[in-house]
């Protein structure tokens, strides 16, 4: 299987499909690169090179005890881009992956990147503070950590419901999709998953967003129960220099069903433009 070795010795697994202009995908918590299979197949079939990696501690990458922080995630992404020799790339991040992409661009610049996509992404800041009253109270993230430590297997099963909006009237989310969410989540190491809760909830990406000077497509469902749009996309577009916003009515956090079909069409149009 393909891996790169990072400067601190971690092995980062990646998938590399197709050929052409590179589109690099960063996944959400606590999933891995397989969450992007639909989008990777679509773009690789349309003449793009689709690359996706498992964040350290997740999937097939090394389960490091330390280094489970947003700066290191961004550095790992930079090492992947550098070692694969990618240029004129398009970065796509969902949820925590959107934070990873944002921190990469703020920390490493845009010399190798032409565009970016932030889908259901956590920036600018998820945590509720005096300066961010639209955010989520800390107690909600404490419940996530408690759930992981008590019984992460059951916690992930329950999380799949709001993740895909399966707890909403009229939902037709399949059991298979929820089982796939559970399967991918269970591949993440407990320490990495636990540490990542702090990173996606407490990291402030405001200054990173302000530094980004490339076109950014911001996509978000207005029924997202995991990363509410009011503290995320609606604020990010005001901080980015060159952003376009697409709000998907009734769409949940997880990219599936009719939301996925619409997002895939918009993603393809954005990368082809």
Q: Is 273 a catalytic residue?
A: no
- Give the fold, CATH level 3, of 3-272: Rossmann fold (3.40.50)
Ordered by start, the domain boundaries in the chain are 3-272
Question: How far is the C-alpha of 245 from the C-alpha of 86, rounded, in Å?
Answer: 26
Q: Is 171 a catalytic residue?
A: no
Spatial CA neighbour of 1 closest among 32, 27, 30, 29: 32
H-assigned helices in 46-137:
70-83, 96-108
Estimate to the nearest angstrom the gap between the alpha carbon of 189 and the chain centroid.
17
Provide DSSP, 30-66.
T--GGGGHHHHHHHHHTTEEEEEEPPTTSTTS---SS
Give the angle subtended at the CA of 219 by the CAs of 214 and 225, to the nearest 5°: 140
Q: Which of 61, 95, 160, 201 is catalytic?
A: 95
Query: Of the residues 160, 195, 253, 256, which is catalytic?
Result: 253
Tell me the average pLDDT across 60-87. Answer: 98
Query: Which residue in the list 76, 195, 208, 224 is annotated as catalytic?
Result: 224
Q: Write the pLDDT tens digit of every residue in 241-265.
A: 999 999 999 999 999 999 999 999 9
Tens-place pLDDT, residues 202-238: 999 999 999 999 999 999 999 999 999 999 999 999 9
Residue 107's contacts (CB-CB under 8 Å, 6 or more residues apart) are 71, 74, 75, 78, 208
**How far is 236 from 27, CA to CA, in rounded Å?**
19
224 is catalytic: yes
- pTM for this structure? 0.98
């Amino acid at each position: 299987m393909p891996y790169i070795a990072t400067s601190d010795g971690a092995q980062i697994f990646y998938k590399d499909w197709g050929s052409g202009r590179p589109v690099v995908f960063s996944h959400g918590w606590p999933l891995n690169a397989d969450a992007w299979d639909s989008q990777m197949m679509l773009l690789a079939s349309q003449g793009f090179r689709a690359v996706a990696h498992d964040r350290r501690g997740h999937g097939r990458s090394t389960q490091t005890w330390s280094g489970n922080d947003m700066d290191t995630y961004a550095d790992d992404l930079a090492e992947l881009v550098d070692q694969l020799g990618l240029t004129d790339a398009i970065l796509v991040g969902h949820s925590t992956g959107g934070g990873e992409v944002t921190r990469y661009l703020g920390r490493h610049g845009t010399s190798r990147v032409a565009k970016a996509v932030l889908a259901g992404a956590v920036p600018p800041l998820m945590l509720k503070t005096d300066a961010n009253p639209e955010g989520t109270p800390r107690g909600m993230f404490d419940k996530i950590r408690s759930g992981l430590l008590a019984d992460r297997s059951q916690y992930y099963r329950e999380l799949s419901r709001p993740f895909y909006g399966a707890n909403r009237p009229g939902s037709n989310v399949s059991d298979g999709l929820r089982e796939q969410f559970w399967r991918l989540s269970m591949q993440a190491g407990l320490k990495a998953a636990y540490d990542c809760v702090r990173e996606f909830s407490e990291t402030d990406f405001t200054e990173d967003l302000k530094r980004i000077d490339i076109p950014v497509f911001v996509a978000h469902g207005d029924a997202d129960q995991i990363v509410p749009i009011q503290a995320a996309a609606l604020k990010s577009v005001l901080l980015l220099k060159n952003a376009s916003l697409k709000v998907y009515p009734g769409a949940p956090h997880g990219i599936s069903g009719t939301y996925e079909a619409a997002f895939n069409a918009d993603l393809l149009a954005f990368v082809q433009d």
